[in-house]
């Protein structure tokens, strides 16, 4: 009887110790699609900001290269690069405009069966 009592006391102490060191985890108030949407918007905002800064910097370099060059071939190359920079910037920002336009149209389809 004494051995059973020891086992009972030890198991109760172990259970109390386990319950005292565990943490309760609460789920966020958002579902998977809201969390993914927030992450995508945050990443895209950073990409659009960085692309805008880089487009402005590279446009300035292309214009300076075109204005300071004495060779017509290099001037033409600079203007071609400037066009490519603007097109790339428009595409990157156009993706955000497209997503902002399409998102309300697809509202309600993000439900798992």
- Separation CA 52–CA 42 (nearest Å): 16
Percent of the chain with pLDDT over 90: 25
pLDDT interval class at 28 (50, 70, 90): low
Whole-model pTM over 0.75: no
* pLDDT computed for residue 9 by the predictor: 84
Tell whether the model's pLDDT for residue 31 goes beyond 80.
no
Query: Please, what is the Cα angle at 51 between 56 and 90, to 5 degrees?
Result: 85
Which residues, other chains included, contact 62 with Cβ-Cβ below 8 Å and sequence gap of 6+? 78, 79, 81, 82, 85
Average pLDDT for 3-15: 84
Site of tokens 């800064």: 53
């Amino acid at each position: 009887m004494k051995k059973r009592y020891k086992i009972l006391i030890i198991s109760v102490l172990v259970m109390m110790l386990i319950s005292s060191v565990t943490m309760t985890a609460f789920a966020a108030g958002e579902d998977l699609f809201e969390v993914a949407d927030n992450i995508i918007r945050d990443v895209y905002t950073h990409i659009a900001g960085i692309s805008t800064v880089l487009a402005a910097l590279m446009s300035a370099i292309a214009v300076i290269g075109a204005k300071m060059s004495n060779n017509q071939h290099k001037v033409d190359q600079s203007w071609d690069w400037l066009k490519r920079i603007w097109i790339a910037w428009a595409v990157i920002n156009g993706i955000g405009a497209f997503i902002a336009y399409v998102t309300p149209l697809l509202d309600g389809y993000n439900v798992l069966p």
